[in-house]
Structure 1
Amino acid sequence: EKDSPFRAGASRLAAARARELLSDMGWDEESIASVAHAVEAHSFSAAITPLTLEAKILQDADRLDSLGMIGVARTFYVSGRMGKYLYEPNDPHASQRPYDDKRFAVDHFHTKLLHLAEGFQTRTGAQMAKVRHDRLKRFLDELMEEIGASQP
């Protein structure tokens, strides 16, 4: 869950578990280390630079999952599960307040999602991210227009 106290270390825990499983399966240490690095580095919150092609691809795939229409759907699904409001009706653009994605789903677009396209590791990932980023922006622009909060 997004609000789990273990969230910050989730990729490290997953990498440790992958090490155990692969070791039990008889994998060599170099291959295990490569997989563990990819798993650990994929997470946005871990802030680990991916060093191998596999780690770069996995990180790009994880971030692509947060962009575009899947990202929109997931943001609203998770926000609803966590009891967040859709947006702040008196200031949906946060022009008179700081963004607060702990309270408002739309603020998450500004605190994280709209920044993801900047950090892709592969050329293909970056190209795909641009398309999805543009969709994300169009959705947000149309939502703001629909609620009467278009940017001046």
Structure 2
Amino acid sequence: MHPSHFTPFESLAAAIIPHLPQTTDGSHDHDHLLRVWNTVKAIQAQEGGDLELLAAAVLLHDCVLVPKESPLRSQASELAAKEAAGVLQSQGWSAERTEIVCDAIRTHGYSAGRTPTSLEGRILQDADRLDAIGYIGIARCFYTAGRMHSQLYNPADPTANARPLNDRHFALDHFPQKLLKLGANFTTATGQALAVVRVKALANFYEGMLAEVTGGA
């Protein structure tokens, strides 16, 4: 990832990128940051907000990576916010602007279950969640399932009619357990509009895969 991807905040990106984790997780890599940044810009163009704050929030929102299967998963956003505070303070950021970025990071994650208090936080949360749905969301779901050595689905009960959903063991369970619920949790009008198309893609895939594995198609 090159700082020029974050024009006109190349200097900010150049200062932050060395602090980012090097990871082999293709669902939370630098390409994820770039996708979220592009979506943030699209939402900000319609909703407003401070684009420099958003650039910092995007760059640092996953600066501490916690595996999905880790018991610390629900703390991932809080841990990233604490790390982000140190990075921004080392760059001479004011306490006020640092806290806006950190609050956006602290509240962006689904596992944290928190509501952003700023427009920038709402935009970051919407952009990050948009990357979890649609076609890229489907790809990320099965990529992560492969890394966790999960099965594609439960062959005895793929729709979980007589068992609890378990997306750590069955990739397809992640759709009703989380992904299909995300469409109701967007807090900007632009994010909501973008989510409609991506949620439809999720639903079509889920229904189509169920039809295939149950012999219906």
TM-score range, shorter chain: over 0.9
The one-letter code sitting in structure 1 at the alignment partner of 2:177 is: T
The one-letter code sitting in structure 1 at the alignment partner of 2:77 is: S
1:122 aligns with 2:183: no
Q: Summarize deviations over 1:38-85 as a string: whole Å, max 9, x none.
A: 011111111111011100000001111110111111111111111111
Per-residue deviation at 1:99?
1.4
Write the distance in 1 (CA, Å) between the matches of 2:94 and 2:171: 44
Identity of aligned residues (%): 47
Per-residue deviation at 1:149?
5.0
Indicate the residue corresponding to 2:156 in structure 1: 90
Indicate the residue corresponding to 2:115 in structure 1: 49
Match of 2:106 among 31, 34, 40: 40
The one-letter code sitting in structure 1 at the alignment partner of 2:132 is: S
Report if aligned partners of 2:69, 2:168 keep a CA contact under 8 Å in 1: no
Indicate the residue corresponding to 1:15 in structure 2: 81
Write the distance in 1 (CA, Å) between the matches of 2:106 and 2:114: 7
Aligned length: 151
Match of 1:141 among 177, 202, 207: 207
Indicate the residue corresponding to 1:6 in structure 2: 72
Write the distance in 2 (CA, Å) between the matches of 1:30 and 1:135: 40
CA RMSD of aligned residues (A): 1.4
Q: Summarize deviations over 1:74-115 as a string: whole Å, max 9, x none.
A: 111111111111111121111122212121110110110000
1:79 aligns with 2:145: yes
Where do 5+ consecutive residues of structure 2 fail to align? 1-66
Report if aligned partners of 1:15, 1:37 keep a CA contact under 8 Å in 2: yes
Compute the TM-score of the two structures, normalised by the length of structure 2.
Answer: 0.67
Write the distance in 2 (CA, Å) between the matches of 1:5 and 1:90: 28
Write the distance in 2 (CA, Å) between the matches of 1:119 and 1:102: 22
Indicate the residue corresponding to 2:15 in structure 1: none
**Secondary structure of 1:93 counterpart:** coil
The one-letter code sitting in structure 2 at the alignment partner of 1:60 is: D
Write the distance in 1 (CA, Å) between the matches of 2:179 and 2:122: 18
Compute the TM-score of the two structures, normalised by the length of structure 1.
Answer: 0.94
Write the distance in 2 (CA, Å) between the matches of 1:87 and 1:60: 28
Per-residue deviation at 1:120?
0.3
Write the distance in 1 (CA, Å) between the matches of 2:214 and 2:110: 33
